[in-house]
Amino acid sequence: MNTITAHIEGTKSKGFAIYATAFDSAIASDGATVAEAQASFREAIETTALSYEETGDNDIAQALREAEVEYIYDVSALFSLFKDLNASQFIKRTSISNETLRQWRAGQKVPKHRLQEVESAIHQLAEELRAVRLR
């Protein structure tokens, strides 16, 4: 099965954009929320598949329709989509200041090494949650 790696980013207009390249085609969408942008992205994949069908590339059209989409989030999209992540509590897991996180959530570019720190903290939280057992 094919995978489309799609990047989700916050925009200056307070919306979200998604972009990817698949089978030598650029696929993009946007929306006021991450969920709207994702729905629009699936429609963009279908539109791209239809254009391949029109040129007789039915195999590529089918591969696009069957592809899994792997989303890579920027920090603003992450906190917008996962509202259960409390930003002020989350920064206690990292060396990131509240002001720095606020700037990132507003769309400022995040240095790669800091992205790794945020991602590690998210994965650590996920592991802790996975270990929870309730009675």
- Give 93-112 pLDDT, tens digit per residue: 888 888 888 888 877 888 88
Measured CA to CA, the distance from residue 16 to residue 117 in angstroms comes to 23
Question: Percent of the chain at pLDDT above 90?
Answer: 53
Q: Is the pLDDT of residue 83 over 90?
A: no
- 50 Rama sector, left if φ>0, alpha if ψ -120 to 50, beta otherwise: alpha
- What is the tens place of the pLDDT at every residue in 58-72? 999 999 999 999 999
Mean pLDDT calculated for residue range 70-76: 90
Residues ≥6 apart with Cβ < 8 Å to 68: 1, 2, 3, 4
What are the sequence ranges of the domains in the chain? 1-74, 84-135
Q: What is the mean pLDDT of the chain?
A: 90
pLDDT band at 82 (very low <50, low <70, confident <90, very high): confident
Measured CA to CA, the distance from residue 113 to residue 6 in angstroms comes to 21
pLDDT band at 85 (very low <50, low <70, confident <90, very high): confident
Measured CA to CA, the distance from residue 4 to residue 27 in angstroms comes to 10
